[in-house]
Chains A and B, each alone.
Chain A
């Protein structure tokens, strides 16, 4: 259900039309359809799961309140992601541009502990790589981290990222270039040490 792929556009248009007329069940179907992606976009910006969930909830409520302003000429998903990204960017600014890691350190420590059944060498190596990646992502600026996560994890195109983050396509390209090289260097250094 969470990973439900968007269905036909005609079906979506009908759901949007009904939701515009106040049908909350139709809007609920849209929530089901896009919740995973909305949480991912929020998480790409704030880099914290709890905050991402809160922001996703807020984004859906804002979308419902402003549904009458949505014009069907543009993509509903892009419109929704833009609302989410705006909320997340505002949140990040309020938090002083610092990465919020409430509870995440403890969670990571728990994840490091071997399971009762015993971990294979491959699984341990995979976990270590994930941890190094998280550390490397935390060293990036929020702008660079957001762009690379939207591209690599969410698979958004440069134009979509540019639209959602309100920045030129050239900026998306340069941020991606910097983020990739930075992560590559960090990971290589960590691997060598």
Chain B
């Protein structure tokens, strides 16, 4: 069992809950088996209760008002007043910057979202329902591209690819989008690209 002298140094912090957990445990075990230390701990507790009971706090009536009256007479140094002014200015500036940034982001997003349609309007007529639907990526059916060296390979590469409608047609490029079909035949599709003066003939894979 640890010596009482050592334990007695820890009785106060034990009562205050300021010891490490293992020390709290050691003291608790010791106090249970040591009547003298137990009596000291009891006295400490009684002393704390008596001190709190005897503590006479004076009447605080008027203290707050007296402080307010003195504060009203306080001449705040120019340095502090300038600091307060710039603090409020900084807050207003930060709010303005935040609003401006939000507006800029909204404008950029708006332009980015409507740009395909806007580009069509600038280039030609108003967007048709077909053009609007063409603005979405589409899945291209398996086709053969006329004029290529290996149509079967090109057609295979195009299976289920998603392509964009905007890039101009290149006869050697297997990526393309059909914006309109000019023949009703299920076996052949002919498409003209006026911007590049290109005619494309699409033939589905033959089994």
With contacts A36-B57, A129-B50 taken as known, whether A20 is within 8 angstroms of B67 at the C-beta atoms is no
Task: Say if the beta carbon of A100 comes within 8 Å of chain B.
Answer: no
- Residue among A36, A39, A68, A184 with the highest chain B CB neighbour number at 10 A: A68
The interface bits of chain A over 167-193 (1 if a CB of B lies within 8 angstroms of the residue's CB, else 0) are: 000000100110010011001100000
Task: Say if the beta carbon of B87 comes within 8 Å of chain A.
Answer: yes
For window 52-93 of B, CB contacts with A under 8 Å fall at: 52-58, 60, 63-64, 66-68, 70-72, 74, 76, 80-81, 83-84, 87-88
CA distance A20 to B13 in the complex (A): 38
Task: Say if the beta carbon of A13 comes within 8 Å of chain B.
Answer: no
Q: Are A180 and B57 in contact (CB under 8 A)?
A: no
CA distance A130 to B47 in the complex (A): 11
In the complex, chain B residues whose CB is within 8 Å of the CB of A177? 9, 12
Task: Say if the beta carbon of B43 comes within 8 Å of chain A.
Answer: yes
For window 19-66 of B, CB contacts with A under 8 Å fall at: 40, 43-44, 47-48, 50-58, 60, 63-64, 66
CA distance A151 to B81 in the complex (A): 38
Q: Are B63 and A56 in contact (CB under 8 A)?
A: yes
Task: Say if the beta carbon of A105 comes within 8 Å of chain B.
Answer: no
In the complex, chain A residues whose CB is within 8 Å of the CB of B66? 57
In the complex, chain A residues whose CB is within 8 Å of the CB of B164? none
For window 45-79 of A, CB contacts with B under 8 Å fall at: 49-50, 52-53, 56-57, 60-61, 64-65, 68
Task: Say if the beta carbon of A153 comes within 8 Å of chain B.
Answer: yes
Interface SS, B side: helix
Find the A residue at minimum CB distance from B55. Answer: A153
Q: Are B64 and A32 in contact (CB under 8 A)?
A: yes
With contacts A49-B58, A130-B54, A176-B12 taken as known, whether A61 is within 8 angstroms of B71 at the C-beta atoms is yes
For window 142-180 of A, CB contacts with B under 8 Å fall at: 148-149, 151-153, 157-158, 173, 176-177, 180
In the complex, chain A residues whose CB is within 8 Å of the CB of B81? 22
Find the B residue at minimum CB distance from A159. Answer: B18
Contact of B12 among A43, A52, A180 (CB under 8 A): A180
In the complex, chain B residues whose CB is within 8 Å of the CB of A27? 71
Q: Are B55 and A40 in contact (CB under 8 A)?
A: yes
In the complex, chain B residues whose CB is within 8 Å of the CB of A24? 68, 71-72
Q: Are A149 and B58 in contact (CB under 8 A)?
A: no
CA distance A73 to B87 in the complex (A): 18
Task: Say if the beta carbon of B16 comes within 8 Å of chain A.
Answer: yes
Contact of B71 among A64, A152, A157, A183 (CB under 8 A): A64
CA distance A133 to B53 in the complex (A): 10
CB distance from B16 to the nearest CB of A (A): 7
The interface bits of chain B over 172-205 (1 if a CB of A lies within 8 angstroms of the residue's CB, else 0) are: 0000000000000000000000000000000000
Task: Say if the beta carbon of A6 comes within 8 Å of chain B.
Answer: no
Closest 5 CB pairs of A and B: A49-B58, A130-B54, A152-B51, A60-B67, A153-B55
Residues of B at the A interface (CB closer than 8 Å) are 9, 12-13, 16, 18, 40, 43-44, 47-48, 50-58, 60, 63-64, 66-68, 70-72, 74, 76, 80-81, 83-84, 87-88
23 contacts between A and B (CB under 8 A): A20-B84, A20-B87, A22-B81, A28-B64, A32-B64, A35-B60, A36-B57, A39-B58, A40-B55, A49-B58, A50-B58, A52-B58, A57-B66, A60-B67, A61-B71, A68-B83, A130-B54, A133-B54, A149-B51, A152-B47, A153-B52, A157-B18, A177-B12
